[in-house]
Structure 1
Amino acid sequence: MHFVSEQLLDGGVLERRFTLDRIPGILWTPVSASAPVPLILIGHPPLGLPRMYPRLAGRARHYAARHGFAAATVELPGSGERPRWAAAEQARADLRRALEAGGPVGGDIVDALVMPLVERAVPEWRTALDALLALPGIGGPVGYEGGVISVGVRLAVVEPRIVAAGLFAGSLVPAAMFEEARRVTIPLHVLLQWDDEGNDRQAALDLYDAFGSKEKTLHANTGGHTGVPAFELDTGARFFARHLLT
């Protein structure tokens, strides 16, 4: 991990940008911490870190200010400044055509769009976690939140260092992920926008029902994809506090 810049943000949060195997990432840490702190991995959709930065930084700063958590994110394959990925570009084009035609999005399109991203992104998240936990001042435990929900599901299954996850029900889910969801056992906090124009509500409910976790909570709010109420950030922070501050 190579740090390329740092700046002190309002509220006593140190933001450091890094590269890891040429993958860009950002780490936020509370400067007031006197002992190693828990870490939240903040996922995001494949829109690029520059576009997502205000929302990611806002969540990270909230977690640092309220509970002293560190937070980190990495760029997804084929997004932002990373090399274009022809198969992903084709899958996105196919999705746009299907949506513009007004018909249902076929499972073949969903699989082509999501599954290769999961296969590439999850190992990169795990490598980043190795590097982050090796840094002084970060000691775990680890939570994961946000992002493409299928990436979160796979991480919850394969990464034992992640002990709790907050998932956003707002992305197309391949059929194979429902079987993986049954293997998820960590505590879950799931957000669902009831009127999300880009999400199949019933599929989101079916996925929630499939999760094997004994502790799982669904928060559904009216409004579209970007209309998540501000108070849900506090709700998510309290969820992570219960499971990371042990």
Structure 2
Amino acid sequence: MNKTKLYKLIFIIAIYSAAFTLLLISIKNYTSYLSTYKSNKTTQHTKVLSSTKHIEKANCINKIQKNIAKNVLRLHVIANSDSDNDQNLKLKVRDSILHELQTGLNTATSPAQAKQYVASKFQNIKNTANYTIHQNGYSYSVKVFIQNRYFPVKTYGDLTFPAGYYDALCVEIGKAAGHNWWCVLFPSLCFENATTATVPDESKAKLKNSLTREEYDSLEKPQHTKNDGKNTADVKIRCGIYDVFTNN
């Protein structure tokens, strides 16, 4: 074999080697790209499913809260300020209002009746609050009205109400710049024990009769025992197959 033929053979082998090497590199890059693409698609699909699940959870809990809100009337008392004296006065006004309304609201069988009764007693409520305020040496003014207001999550005995908007009897003392106090007027979750808001069995029965099973179950506050033996509550709202507060 002469040198010319040898050089041609070497050149051809080099060309084929380079081409084969480029082919291997291309296959490797394509495999890597395909793996990354599949991974990204899986991640995106998971994010979409997660987002959809959270939206469904939010819609479900919002629906349950609105249905519960239709069946209750709450009380919202706001103190003049956060001073100890004004906060103590707020509680005295609260007690006087609960005493004023207790008998009539206990006979109400629906939220509409409860609202109608409370509206008819606006002047009595205002007079009672004013009397309590003056008896304790203050001259604050009082505003009394029913309004749809936002309430945070709140527990009464073994029932926990979700955050959201509820109709409420609002009592604003003076500047109404202090911490507030609230309970549920109908069904009467305030009256059995205004300090601890222990839930009367009769009120539970009214709630059960006016709510669906799912809505009432969502109010139940499961109890767990800690190592020190004390009970602590996990707030849960069950929404079909979704456990909204624990599977976020």
Structures share fold, TM-score greater than 0.5 = no
- Looking at both structures, which has the greater relative contact order when contacts are Cα pairs under 8 Å and sequence separation is at least 6? 2
More strand by share: 1
TM-score norm. by structure 2 comes to 0.26
Looking at CA atoms only, which structure, 1 or 2, has the larger radius of gyration? 2
